[in-house]
Amino acid sequence: MTDRIPPSPQLRETGVMAILRARSADRFGDISRTLVDAGVTCLEITLTSPGALDAIREIRKALPDTVDVGAGTVVDAEQARAVVEAGAGFVVSPSAEPDVVAVARAAGIPAYPGAFTPTEVLAAWRAGATVVKLFPGSAVGPSYITALRGPFPDVAIMPTGGVSLDNIGDWIRAGASGVGLGGPLLGDAADGGDLGALADRAARALAAVRDARAGA
């Protein structure tokens, strides 16, 4: 596919997509500002978080255009159209849904469909994925990406699930284009936890990607 939509500069440069998932999106504004101030500028707001669509709208208004705010856990075309209308800058799915990818592509925004098996990875890529989200990464580990990149050297892969602050470097060195980082990054921030600690975790994640890309 020659007209593949590229990832945003925010994701491409930092290699970190922060995944905001919680029982309530009430604190997502404060969390987003903290992450952005720390240098994490690609934010995924999951639709399984109550109030997610409103959060996307509000965060898009509150933060500069240099911040990439998208929607996650988008499972069908109807949801994809709703998040596009809310202003999402990208769409993430837990599985490879061609209809979701098609809606994102029609809107001119990146699509990050989930896949696990080699068959699913190739299908997602052929459907027009910007990057294929390897999910759940916890079931395999970094060496799986190395194995996938043997037959699929041109497929950009980003693991989520199973990515921690301690193993980010392993995933990047294995060939991941970036990582999706949820619970290990957010910690208890959505439940009133220390935002200073969140900023420290964000800085650690960014440093891990930088070091791995530099060969450290």
- Catalytic residues, which ones? 44, 133
DSSP, residue by residue, 132-146 = EEETTGGGT-THHHH
ω into residue 6 within 30 of 0, thus cis?
A: no
C-alpha 197 chain-centroid distance: 21
- Please report which helix (H) or strand (E) contains residue 159, including its range: strand 157-159
Distances (CA, A) of 181 to 17, 48, 92, 105, 164: 6, 16, 13, 24, 7
Contact yes or no for 40/14 (Cβ under 8 A):
yes
Instruction: Please give the Cα distance from 172 to 210 (Å, whole number).
Output: 9
Which residues, in sequence order, are bridge partners of residue 20? 45
